Chain A
Amino acid sequence: MPGTEFGAEVRQHDHTGVIDLHGEINLGADQALADAYEQAVRDDPRTIVLNFARVDYINSTGIALIVGVLARARKEHRTVRAFGLSEHYREIFAITRLSDFMGIYPDEDSAVTAAAAAAS
């Protein structure tokens, strides 16, 4: 199968859980994404930031996984922000209305700053 395998690493940045995503977000990303989320919320941050800068493909199943993450975060009263989306995926996030529920930022600093500002 072509394409690059999905992976995710988690960092803490200014009391915010940052998940660096890379590769393809499709059905195969399910477990890794869930694990990354678990790890990101370990310190119970108010905000989770998803870094899409190194994601090269998101299909409808991947959209469903992101909806799942967002649903879980909302249930736990966490805010989700995203940055690093290409123009195409920003359009897809707009069409699917994901961007109505998830702040979309140009870069990590603005996402984290917005998170910190909202928290203070």
Chain B
Amino acid sequence: MTTIPSNLRRVLRREPRVRPVPPPVAAPPERVEAPPVEIAPNDPLVAYFSGATGAVDIGALQLDSPALAGLREAGVKLVVPLVSQGELIGLLNLGPRRSEQEYSADDRKLLNDLAGHAAPAVRVAQLVREQEAEVRQRERIEQELRVAQLIQQQFLPHELPDLPGWQVEAYYGPAREVGGDFYDFIRLPDDQIGIVVGDVTDKGVPAALVMATTHSILRAEAPRLVAPSEVLTRVNELLVDEMPAHMFVTCLYAVLDPSSGRLRYANAGHNVPYVGAGGEVTELRATGMPLGLLPGMEYEEKVATLAPGDIVLLHSDGLAEAHDPDRQMFGFPRVAALVGEAPDGEVLIDRLLKELEEFTGAGWEQEDDITLVTLERRASSSAERAADPPAGRLLASFDLPSEPGNERLAIDGVAEAIAGLGLQGPRLERLKTAVGEATMNAIEHGNGNRPELPVEVSVVADDTDVTVRITDQGGERPIPEVEAPDLEAKLAGLQTPRGWGLFLIQNMVDALRTAVDEHHHTIELVMHLKEAPDARN
């Protein structure tokens, strides 16, 4: 122990417990407790007692010391410093002898001997007490850490969203002293999905509680408001009143339309996401204050369109602001560079963590939570791209206004056009279903249900195939990967019950092709006219 003061802050004066021999006969033993005397750590008396070799007469001392005055005032005459291993650990303070005589040389010798024996015992007692207090403190901190972890884990997603044509990955690594990181995926109307990455200032239970509140508010407001700027404005309003002093939340909120690759986003002071596209890295910047600081905040909303192969990284500052043993920061440029080099989201997360490990070196204690979420739009593979318009006879060509329900017009129009081709029974029904679904997609996703935008339908046949082309005005948008919907997850309420269209189309027709140009998106449905090997029949 290097600091004496805590031992000396409160010094009790007691009548000497060891009395001169022989003890006084008449006076019954009586103990008077004197008021405690404060001794400041920098009081010259401390240094003096530390160097003293035995009992010290207070009366004879000449020191400019407030503590000395205090001791005198309390009636202390003699002080015996308790020194253990060269360290002053306490004082025996004695008042005047009852006999009113001065302390004798024998008294002093006895007191010095006593101090010599008492000091190590007192020191041991002090150490035991300190250790007990430390253990209690440690247990309390551990308990708090467990509670914070529990709260945090409760609110992190248990599974990743399953988006056809997209690969979503997430990593969450809590620091030992849990920070306030969180991320979430929120199902939104029209098969859109909300993506949240946030960080609460502060650590431990207070941060975890604020995180839980923010999480709940976002979950409640996002499906209703959808637009990222509006969602953050609303969350801020609700949080401002709830937020403990000196705390706030940084948060990035983005809404992805998986079918078009359109990503709307707003940012409340969180790290700027990076987009890696063919070796180039761009930033998704939008301005906004952290949540919970001030009422009436507005948030800028931006839009980016993600092309096949693009990877977005959302990240908390636990990564970029990690330090190596020389206190150098991992840094944002390093993160951005890795985003540019990554072939896919999963590899990106692995590389980021591996680079971080190499950077910080062995034995590094993680300073803050690390949260990484990647969104990757898969390059199209399952659907071939439609080439030039098919050769053959044009059987029909018509436009439809983009109004819900008009897919029935497309179905009827196509059915009428191919009536003489010999396609019938289940195969005709399949083509009709595919035409209906493709037209619905064109009306809703391509043309946004705007009646003034036409859906163009054409039917072409040659000797072997009939081809239906359905074109919307939605322009370039990704060709989604067709995946089998997860019915179990839908039945369990973990996924939206929707999302069957493209899967149905692919299973209905003999070939499916898509083509895009700047202004149009075309889906081409092909059915063989002649008997074709078909596993389903």
Cβ 8 A contact of A95, one of B412, B498, B504 = B504
By the criterion CB–CB under 8 Å, are A59 and B440 in contact? yes
Inter-subunit contact B426/A88 (CB<8 Å):
yes
Judging by beta carbons under 8 Å apart, are A96 and B500 in contact? Answer: yes
Contact present for B437 and A59 (CB under 8 Å)? yes
12 A-B pairs whose Cβ atoms sit less than 8 Å apart in the complex: A3-B405, A24-B408, A26-B405, A60-B437, A60-B498, A60-B500, A61-B440, A67-B487, A71-B491, A92-B504, A95-B504, A100-B487
Shortest Cβ distance from B428 into A: residue: A88
Contacts A3-B408, A70-B491, A88-B426 given; does A96 touch B485 at CB 8 Å:
yes
When chains A and B are docked, how far (Å) is the Cα of A2 from the Cα of B492?
Answer: 34
Q: Residue A64 at the B interface, CB < 8 A?
A: yes
Q: What's the interface size class on B, roughly? A: 20 to 34
Which residues of chain B from 393 to 435 have a CB within 8 Å of any chain A CB?
403-409, 412, 426, 429-430, 433
Chain A residues lying within 8 Å of B408, measured Cβ to Cβ, are 1-3, 24, 57
Chief secondary structure at chain B's binding surface? helix
Q: Does B493 contact A (CB under 8 A)?
A: yes
The reply on A14 being an interface residue by CB < 8 A is no
**Interface of A: prevailing SS:** helix
Task: Give the Cβ gap from A51 to chain B, nearest Cβ, in Å.
Answer: 20
B507 at the interface (CB under 8 A from A): yes
Q: Which chain A residue has the least Cβ–Cβ distance from B437?
A: A60
A75 and B500 within 8 A (CB): no
State A28–B403 Cα separation when bound (angstroms): 13
Residues of B within 8 A of A (CB): 403-409, 412, 426, 429-430, 433, 436-437, 440, 485, 487, 490-493, 496-501, 503-504, 507, 536
Cα of A100 to Cα of B507 in the assembled complex, Å: 17
- A101: which of B409, B429, B485, B491 is its contact (CB, 8 Å)? B491
Inter-chain contact count A-B, CB under 8 Å? 75
- Taking CB atoms and an 8 Å cut-off, the chain A residues in 84-105 that contact chain B are 86-88, 91-92, 95-98, 100-101
| Contact partners of A116 in chain B: CB under 8 A | none
- The reply to whether B498 and A61 contact each other, CB–CB distance below 8 Å, is yes
Task: Knowing that A60-B500, A92-B504, A95-B504 touch, tell me 8 more A-B residue pairs with CB under 8 angstroms.
Answer: A2-B412, A57-B436, A59-B407, A65-B497, A92-B433, A96-B485, A97-B487, A98-B487
Interface membership of A27, Cβ < 8 A: yes
A23 to chain B, nearest CB (A): 12
Contact B426 A67 (CB under 8 A): no
Q: How far is the CB of B425 from chain A (nearest CB, A)?
A: 8
- Closest B residue, CB atoms, query A2: B408
